[in-house]
Structure 1
Amino acid sequence: MPLILQNITKHITLTPEEEQLFLSKIETHHFKAKSLLLNSGQVCKHSYFVNSGILRSFNINDNIVEHVLNFACEGWWIGDMYSLISQKPGNLFIEVLEDAEVAMLSKENQEQLYIEIPKLERFFRILTENSLVAYQERLMDNLSLSAEERFEKFCKKYPSLIQKVSQKQIASYIGVTPEFLSKMKSRLLRK
Structure 2
Amino acid sequence: MNIQPLLAYIENYIDLTSDEIAFLESKITVRKYLKGQYIVQQGDICKYTCFVLSGCTKTFYVDKEGQEHILMFSIEDWWTSDMGSFITQTPADFNVQCIENTELVMFPYDVNEELFKGIPKLERLFRQIIERAFVASQKRIVRNFSLSAKEQYLYFRAQYPLIEQRIPQYMIASYLGITKEFLSKIKSQLILEQ
**Which category of TM-score, normalised to the shorter sequence, fits these structures?**
over 0.9
Which among 152, 155, 163 is matched to residue 154 of structure 2?
152
CA-atom RMSD, angstroms?
1.0
- State the Cα distance separating 1:61 from its structure 2 match: 0.6
Question: Is the partner of 1:98 in helix, strand or coil?
Answer: coil
Deviation >2 Å, runs of 4+: none
Q: TM-score, normalised by structure 2?
A: 0.96
Q: Is 1:43 matched up with 2:77? A: no
Amino acid at match of 1:144: S
Alignment counterpart, residue 73 of structure 2, candidates 71, 74, 78 = 71
Q: Which residue of 1 aligns with 2:131?
A: 129
- The code of the aligned residue for 2:30 comes to T
Q: Equivalent residues in 2 for 1:3-82 (5 A)?
A: 3-82=5-84
Gap runs ≥5 in structure 2: none
Aligned partner of residue 150 in structure 2, secondary structure: helix
Structure 1 unaligned regions, length at least 5: none
Distance 2:159 2:55 in 1: 17
Alignment of 1:109-120 (within 5 A): 109-120=111-122
Superposed CA offset, 1:54-93 (max 9, x none): 0111000111111101100001001111101111001110
Deviation at 1:157, TM superposition (A): 2.0
Structure 1 segment 144-183 matched on structure 2, within 5 A: 144-183=146-185
> 1 CA distance for matches of 2:164 and 2:118?
41
Specify the code of the residue in structure 2 equivalent to 1:188: L
Distance 1:79 1:101 in 2: 14
Amino acid at match of 1:29: R
Residue 94 of structure 2 corresponds to which residue in structure 1? 92
Q: Distance in 1 between matches of 2:80 and 2:159?
A: 16
- Residue 37 of structure 1, CA deviation: 0.9
Q: How far is the alpha carbon of 1:110 from its aligned partner?
A: 1.6
Corresponding residue number in structure 2 for 1:139:
141
Alignment: residue pair count: 191
C-alpha separation in 1, matches of 2:180 and 2:148:
16
Q: Partners in 1 of 2:55 and 2:158 — Cα distance?
A: 19
TM-score (norm. length: structure 1): 0.97
Counterpart-to-counterpart distance in 2, 1:95 and 1:52: 14
- The letter of the residue matching 1:180 is F
Q: CA deviation at 1:103?
A: 0.9
State the alpha-carbon separation in 2 of the partners of residues 23 and 4 from structure 1. Answer: 11
Aligned partner of 1:24: which letter? S
Q: How much does 1:140 deviate?
A: 0.5
